[in-house]
A and B are shown apart, each in its own frame.
Chain A
Amino acid sequence: MDIGEVTGEWDYRSLPANVRMGRDCWLERKFSFDRFRSERQPGLAFGDRVRAYTWTTFNVEPTGRVDVGDDTVLVGAVFMCREHISIGNRVVISYNVTIADSDFHPLDPEDRIRDAIANSPRGDRTRRPRIESRPVRVEDDVWIGIGAMVLKGVTVGAGARIGPGAVVTADVPAGASVLGNPAHLVEQRD
């Protein structure tokens, strides 16, 4: 293989037409976009000087859109997007982090059986039950620690710190530090 495809030295013009990129972005691994299926315009928008390392993955459904602000560093950010995930400026997302704006499957047991049948190899995907999504918003200067998860509907306020391994299911106030599963507040800076 051409190792440029995993060292950021590939032709970014091969990205889908609905990926908008600012100046001086560096996207290490071409395959980060293998599961990018957005049909929105744009479906993915990078600010300036965004860096996305090898583990970062944009799993975006046709209805989804991801926005990433200026000077943000995505180390191992796995985006699971059905509607909208927005990441602010100067955000740092460390290794093995998942950010999802949907559970991608229904909770109701009968609906899950219908979903299993519709998703089977010979199934009809148009018969999937309605699936909830709620946008995720990560504001400026947030740091997300190793292995954390940020789930649907969450807003992480500016300057907040998400501890390693935290599972964030509720809003995090600006300047707060959260930790644990489910994440709880451990410090609030003004």
Chain B
Amino acid sequence: MSIRADLGHDWFARPLPANVELGEGSWLYSSYAFLHYQSRRPVGLRVGHDTGLYNGTFFELGVDGEVRIGSYCTLVGVIVVTNGRVEIGDYAFLAHEVVIADHAIAQPPRSEWPRGEVGASATSIHLGENVWVGARATILGGTVVGNHAVIGAGAVVQGSYPERCVLAGNPAQLVRRF
């Protein structure tokens, strides 16, 4: 069951966007997370149950942006920048200063981009279940990462990777399978 409870603890005096769904038992630090949110999709952000979206998490969605986050996930200050679709499976843990973005020169979505070539282009990103992403990692457009994968701190990931692997480095390489 999905709920759209207003956030009793919120300091930022704006309502949640109407097309945001937070599952039962999920926690969001503030509607500040939607500071630049532009999504006009029927459901721009859907979050499962018992997921924590902690301080510093932002959903920088363009008008066509859609994000799906599973249940029992932890996002500790993650910035998601997309005008496409980003999916994060259940039990995912994403650490501080992780950025998930359509491209490397991502900017907040606004109607007037300064130049077309750095504007949003629709891509999709999929992180499987139980993925662990270390602090300051960057995950770029088109990336697919399988279940249980671990992405090292500061890694810059773009590409398709299997389940049960460790990715690390800039650019990220598959360093181990387990």
Contact = CB atoms under 8 A, between A and B. Distances in A.
Nearest to B60: A95
Contacts of A73: 107, 114
Contact of B138 (A6, A51, A165, A180): A165
A165 B35 contact: no
A93 to B, nearest CB: 9
Interface residues of A, number: 28
B156 A164 contact: yes
Interface stretch (A60-68, A80-88, A129-137, A140-148): A140-148
A59 interface: no
Contacts of A51: 114
B141 to A, nearest CB: 11
Interface in B70-120: 79, 81, 97, 99, 101, 104-108, 114-115, 118
Give the contact-size bracket for chain B: 20 to 34
Contacts of A3: 12-14
A96 B136 contact: yes
A71 B114 CA distance: 8
B11 interface: yes
A75 interface: yes
Given A75-B108, A94-B105, A145-B104, A7 B35 contact: yes
Contacts of B35: 6-7, 54
Contacts of B155: 165
**Which 5 A-B pairs rank lowest in CB-CB distance, beginning with the nearest?**
A145-B104, A164-B104, A165-B156, A165-B170, A143-B105
